[in-house]
Each structure stands twice: as structure tokens, then as C-alpha cells.
Amino acid sequence: MAMDYVNAFWVGGLICALVQILMEKTKMMPGRIMVLLVCLGAVISAVGLYEPFMEYAGAGAGVPLLGYGNILMKGVKEAIDKDGFIGLFKGGFTNGAVGCSAALVFGYLASLFFKPKMKS
């Protein structure tokens, strides 16, 4: 049980450290790095490696943007099995809607408590 926390901590930390190095050593914009992480998570999920990775790392693999790519791909796979070709287009939306909705709601709530400003 305690090793679950250790594995989640070091895997999540390693992902964050690698992304930080990518941000510091390249000229990639943060938005592109985020898209890269989501796509990488989807590709790892598509080849069947994300589930064993999640089993080992737990929240360390599920919370970063790699996990969001996995969720999208999992939704696409389920929808294709259920609805055929049209599932290719609706599966990611179905599975990803909760995460997007939560981000919007909590972002809005945070803006009520803090004074958001544009970067200058």
C-alpha cells in the first residue's frame, strides 16, 4: 500500500521534471507541450501500454495530461466497439467531458475568489 504512494510520487514527479526540462531547453510553447502530452498519452493507450503503466504508477500516471490522453483514447475505443465508425468522433467527447467541465467550473470558481489579470 505504501509503495503505491511512492510509485505515484516518483512517476508523477519524473513526468513533471521531464516536461520542465522540455520547456526550459526547447522553444516549444506551453500549449504545444500540453497537446504533445495528451497525444502521447493517447498513443501509449492505443498500443496497450497505458493500463500496465497506470496499474504501476496509479495517480502518478493518471493525473498528468498523459492520463487525459488515455481517457480520450479509452472513450474512442469503447464508442467504436459500441457505435462503429461514428464512435471515432464521439467517444473522446463522451469520456473527456467530465474533466473539461470540472476545469471550467473550478476555473470560474477560482476567478470569483481571486482577481484574474491578463499577463503584460
Write the secondary structure of 44-73 as one string of H (helix), E (strand) and C (coil): HHHCCCHHHHHHHHCHHHHCCHHHHHHHHH
pLDDT given for residue 91 in this prediction: 85
pLDDT given for residue 52 in this prediction: 93
pLDDT given for residue 108 in this prediction: 92
CA–CA gap between residue 56 and residue 50 (Å, rounded): 10
pLDDT given for residue 59 in this prediction: 87
Residue 12 C-alpha cell reads as 508523477
pLDDT given for residue 117 in this prediction: 77
The pTM is what?
0.77
pLDDT given for residue 88 in this prediction: 85
Contacts of 37 (CB under 8 A, 6+ apart): 19, 64, 65, 66, 69
User: What separation in angstroms does the CA of 10 have from each of 17, 18, 55, 61, 62?
Assistant: 10, 12, 14, 10, 13
pLDDT given for residue 44 in this prediction: 94
**pLDDT by 10s per residue, the chain, length 120:** 788 899 999 999 999 999 999 999 998 998 899 999 999 999 999 999 999 999 999 888 888 888 889 888 988 998 999 989 888 888 888 888 888 888 899 999 998 998 877 776
Residue 105 C-alpha cell reads as 467550473
